[in-house]
Amino acid sequence: MPAIPPGDHRGYMRLALEQARQSPPKPTNYRVGAVLVDTATNAVLATGYTLELPGNTHAEQCCLLKLAEQHGGVPEDRLGDVLPPDLALYTTVEPCSQRLSGNLPCVERVLRLAGLVRVVYVGVLEPETFVAENTGRRRLEEAGIAVVRVEGLEEEILEVATAGHVKG
């Protein structure tokens, strides 16, 4: 994993974008990458990308499930018991607030870590292709989690995210 200087938000977003590129292109979802960072030590705790794990899995979901496995298979909803207190989540596309598949929305997964995840850095806000009026950003902010856009990679992120979509 490349060494990324503390506070290099574009560097971490590029790492998340590298994750997104590993996701298989499909017309029914975005290719998204996620990176969870311990900001106190500047350590990458886990990464994930859309469809990395079995099922209709999203990047944040894969990142957190892999992290739970690293901690001896602790249940994902108990991750807050074993993680350090200053975390940042980098995700190429804003976390979803609704899942049509029945899986827990990514915003709900992040909200479980409110108080530990201090900020979610996003490359682009979720386009309204699959979920109109994503309420994720508002819900995260209401829980005290800052949502910050990392600018400058939007075109590249959207190109990767929508690979496999029918262009109209």
Question: In terms of residues, how long is the chain?
Answer: 168
Q: Which two tokens stand for residue 5?
A: 């200087």
Q: What is the DSSP letter of 23?
A: S
Pick the catalytic residue from 60, 108, 126, 142: 60
Q: Where are the alpha helices (DSSP H) in 22-128?
A: 59-70, 106-111
Beta strands in the chain (DSSP E): 33-38, 43-49, 87-93, 117-124, 146-149
Is residue 108 annotated as a catalytic residue, yes or no?
Answer: no
DSSP-derived pairing of the beta strands 33-38 and 43-49: antiparallel
Structure tokens at 72: 């001896």
Who's near 48: CB < 8 A, 6+ residues apart?
A: 19, 33, 34, 59, 60, 61, 62, 63, 64, 65, 66
Give the active site residues.
60
